Amino acid sequence: MEDTLTIATAEGVRIYAITTKNLVQEAADRHHTSHLATAALGRAMSGALMLAATMKDGERILLKLKGDGPMGEVVAEAQGTSVRGYVGEPDVFMPLKNGKLDIGGALGQGTITLTRYLQNGESFTGHAELADGEIATDITNYLYMSEQTPSSVALGVLVDKDGKVLAAGGYFIQAMPGCDEEVLEKLGNNVAVTPYVTQLLELGYTPEKIIEVLARGLEFDIKESMPVKFSCGCSKDKILNMLAALSQDDIDYLTEQPDTEVHCQYCNKVYNFSSEELKQLKTN
């Protein structure tokens, strides 16, 4: 089944629902992540894609959760229908907590940072303390504390014992200005009795079906559905431009090496540069 993001409106509320099994699997394969890191990265990328859907065309979201735990950080960047991301320690391991992956323990105490890059070249960054390190609650808390936006976020990734992603995705409910309190109360009651999002995903619920469950008893309208994917815009030319920004001493050092290897942090692709290629940086 294709990874899909669906957007709906329901009486002054926007509802976003997403399935991301395939793109999370691709990220896990690229970064060789542990079960725990796969779940954390999958949650962050799913959340970033839904947040990016609130932006205009050409604008992007950078979501970073950084803590003092063994995982270090989880980073996801989304623009339109594309997302990329990484974790600080991809092989992180923690004992299960109440039978579940302990993402909060792996992140520890720290900060969630959200940067919005706008069409006009401006960017806006906000911060909040991590609520519990489980990512969905952290995003919900951030939106309320930093952007005064009442919302509800649920994210989930189901991984089997061999590390295969069985299901991934989530939903994001965002109250619009002037939304009726009775509508918010109804949605809150619906969320309270809705099964965990991983259960819905495991049962094969599509984003549209998840929205139907969340908006039951309300009039809602599906606005659009679109495929989403893992995609990184790195290239050899872009890496060369980054290397060109190094100091002359650093460039001289690299040209003395027989070969220089650079990893893209977001997609783990490896780029190799010969000393002859790097010598060109000295003359450009």
pLDDT along the chain (284 residues), means of 10: 96 97 98 98 99 95 98 98 98 94 97 96 96 97 91 97 96 92 92 95 97 95 98 94 89 89 95 88 66
d(CA 139, CA 135): 6
Domain edges within the chain: 4-230, 236-283
What is the chain's percent helix, strand, coil content, to nearest 5? Answer: 35, 30, 35
Could you tell me how many residues make up the chain?
Answer: 284
Contact 125, 111 (CB under 8 A): no
Residue 46: Cβ within 10 Å count: 34
Give pLDDT, residue 279: 84
Give pLDDT, residue 115: 98
d(CA 37, CA 59): 27
Per residue, the 3-state secondary structure of 107-166, as one string, reads HCCEEEEEEEECCCCCEEEEEEECCCCCCHHHHHHHHHHHHCCCEEEEEEEEECCCCCEE
Q: In 3D, which of 264, 271, 272 has the Cα closest to residue 232?
A: 264
Q: What's the half-sphere exposure (Cβ side, CA atoms, 13 Å) at 124?
A: 8
d(CA 190, CA 173): 12
Give pLDDT, residue 283: 60
Fold of domain 4-230: Hsp33 domain (3.55.30)
Contact 50, 3 (CB under 8 A): no
Superfamily of domain 236-283: HSP33 redox switch-like (3.90.1280.10)
Between the two ends of the chain, the Cα-to-Cα distance in Å is 48
Spell out the residues 6+ positions from residue 185 whose beta carbon is closer than 8 angstroms to its own: none
Give pLDDT, residue 102: 97
Q: What's the half-sphere exposure (Cβ side, CA atoms, 13 Å) at 110?
A: 22
Q: In 3D, which of 240, 171, 264, 268 has the Cα closest to residue 212?
A: 171
Give pLDDT, residue 282: 66
Residue 211: Cβ within 10 Å count: 22
pTM exceeds 0.85 for this model: yes
